[in-house]
């Protein structure tokens, strides 16, 4: 069977293990020049492909421990997730966490070495021993309260709405070690839904969950991970149910595209048709 068939879209084996490639550890940095470039390129990428981006419950971030770093964890369903994470941090979360410093773990970062300068660092999943070195480094990035650490706890790309939610142990390890080293850390779930609504392009809906302040150095990583999985699945399912019920209460637009000329004409014709129908009904 050809490897380009739909059956081969998703693979449970991490790319670094599948391709047997080593990752060199590159320390994350925040270089103003490269952020300037990122602030131009990444928003344009999203706005050129999606009709809108909506978000809700940003105010929940005020309930975090403001003296500690924050780990945001989200589903990993498609190619856009990393680009979207940058947009969410520097265009939405920035409204609450002033001057955030992005930290983002990327597999096969050897293909994108310049991402090091906007806060990214690699992960090597060839073996548990190889991964540990990178996980230990990730903990060192959580020292300051302005750190916004973004992670996909599933560890691999899963199909949209994949169930059950299955987390690898990395998130629990990072959280527990951060508690030991810095006294605590915030965990915030983020529900993300890419969907078509009434427009000719897909839209993105982002919902922030309630922050969970972690400060117990004795937490059981296995039990903690399973608890996060159940809570995250319920959180994602709730968002999906609300969207399916046309319940968009509480959402705010980050951006919304202007209608293309053919969509504008379509809207005008629909409006005219409704007015004519109302006149006929009144008669």
The CATH number of residue 16's host domain is 3.40.1130
Give the tokens for residue 100.
Answer: 């955030």
**Whole-prediction pTM:** 0.89
**277 in a structural domain:** no
Return the pLDDT at 56: 98
Return the pLDDT at 239: 98
Return the pLDDT at 281: 38
43 alpha carbon, distance to own chain's centre: 15
Return the pLDDT at 280: 38
**132 in a structural domain:** yes
Block residue for tokens 């916004």: 148
Number of domains in the chain: 1
Cα–Cα distances in angstroms (integers) from residue 187 to residues 11, 123, 133, 258, in the given order: 28, 20, 22, 36
Return the pLDDT at 87: 98
Block mean pLDDT (10 aa), the chain, length 283? 64 68 84 97 97 98 98 96 97 96 88 92 78 92 97 92 94 96 97 95 98 95 96 98 97 90 67 54 34
Q: Which domain holds residue 190?
A: 10-256
**60 in a structural domain:** yes
**261 in a structural domain:** no
Return the pLDDT at 9: 78
Cα–Cα distances in angstroms (integers) from residue 241 to residues 193, 197, 203, 210, 248, in the given order: 11, 14, 16, 18, 11
Return the pLDDT at 168: 92
**90 in a structural domain:** yes
**266 in a structural domain:** no
**230 in a structural domain:** yes
Return the pLDDT at 172: 96
**1 in a structural domain:** no
């Amino acid at each position: 069977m050809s490897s380009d068939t739909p059956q081969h879209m998703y693979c449970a084996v991490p790319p670094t293990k599948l391709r047997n490639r080593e990752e060199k550890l590159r320390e994350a940095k925040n270089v103003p020049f490269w952020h300037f470039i990122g602030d131009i390129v990444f928003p344009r990428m999203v706005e050129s492909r999606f009709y809108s981006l909506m978000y809700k419950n940003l105010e929940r971030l005020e309930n975090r421990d403001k003296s500690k770093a924050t780990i945001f964890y989200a589903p990993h369903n498609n190619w856009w997730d990393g680009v979207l994470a940058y947009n969410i941090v520097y265009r939405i979360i920035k409204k609450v966490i002033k001057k955030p410093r992005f930290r983002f773990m990327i597999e096969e970062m050897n293909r994108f070495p310049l991402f090091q300068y906007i806060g990214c660092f690699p992960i090597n999943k060839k073996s548990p021993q190889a991964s540990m070195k990178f996980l230990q480094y990730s903990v060192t990035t959580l020292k300051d309260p302005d750190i916004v650490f973004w992670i996909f706890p599933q560890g691999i790309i899963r199909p949209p709405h994949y169930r059950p939610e299955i987390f690898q142990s990395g998130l629990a390890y990072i959280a527990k070690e951060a508690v030991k080293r810095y006294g605590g850390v915030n965990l915030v779930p983020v529900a993300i839904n890419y969907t078509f609504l009434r427009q000719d392009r897909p839209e993105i809906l982002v919902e922030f969950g309630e922050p969970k302040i972690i400060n117990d150095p004795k937490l059981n990583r296995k039990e903690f991970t399973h608890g996060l999985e159940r809570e995250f699945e319920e959180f994602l399912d709730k968002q999906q149910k609300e969207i399916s019920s046309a319940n968009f209460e509480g959402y705010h637009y980050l951006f919304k595209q202007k209608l293309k000329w053919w969509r504008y004409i379509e809207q005008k014709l629909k409006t005219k048709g409704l007015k004519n129908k109302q006149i006929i009904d009144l008669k």
